[in-house]
Amino acid sequence: MNNSLVKKAENLLSKCNVCTVASVSENGYPRICVLMPLRTIGIKEFWFSTGASETKVRHFKNNRKSGVTFYDGGDSVTLTGIWKSYPIKA
C-alpha cells in the first residue's frame, strides 16, 4: 500500500467527527447509517458504539462485510472489510 496515501488517510481520519457505516440487509441491499467513531487505530481498526438490538448489528451477525467512509469537507476515505463485534457488558 502507498505509504503517502496511508498517511493522508490517517490524517483525515483523525479529523473526522462522524462517518458512514454500511451493512448488508437480509435482502442483500446496502444500508448506510451515520455513526461517531470512538477510536481509530491507523486505517485498519475502527471502534463504534451502538445498541445490541440495532438493525445494523443484526445485519453484521448475518453478513460481516462492511464499508466505512470518513469525510471532512470535500475529502473522504472509503474502506471495506469485515466487521468484528466486541460486546461490552455494563
Spatial CB neighbours of 46, under 8 Å, sequence gap ≥ 6: 19, 37, 39, 40, 68
Return all residues near 53 (Cβ < 8 A) that are at least 6 apart: none
**Cα separation, 30 vs 52, whole angstroms:** 19
The predicted-structure confidence for 43-79, as pLDDT tens digits, reads as follows 888 888 887 778 988 898 899 999 999 888 888 989 8
Whether the pTM exceeds 0.85: the reply is no
pLDDT of residue 1: 64
Give the rounded percent of residues in the chain with a pLDDT score beyond 90: 28
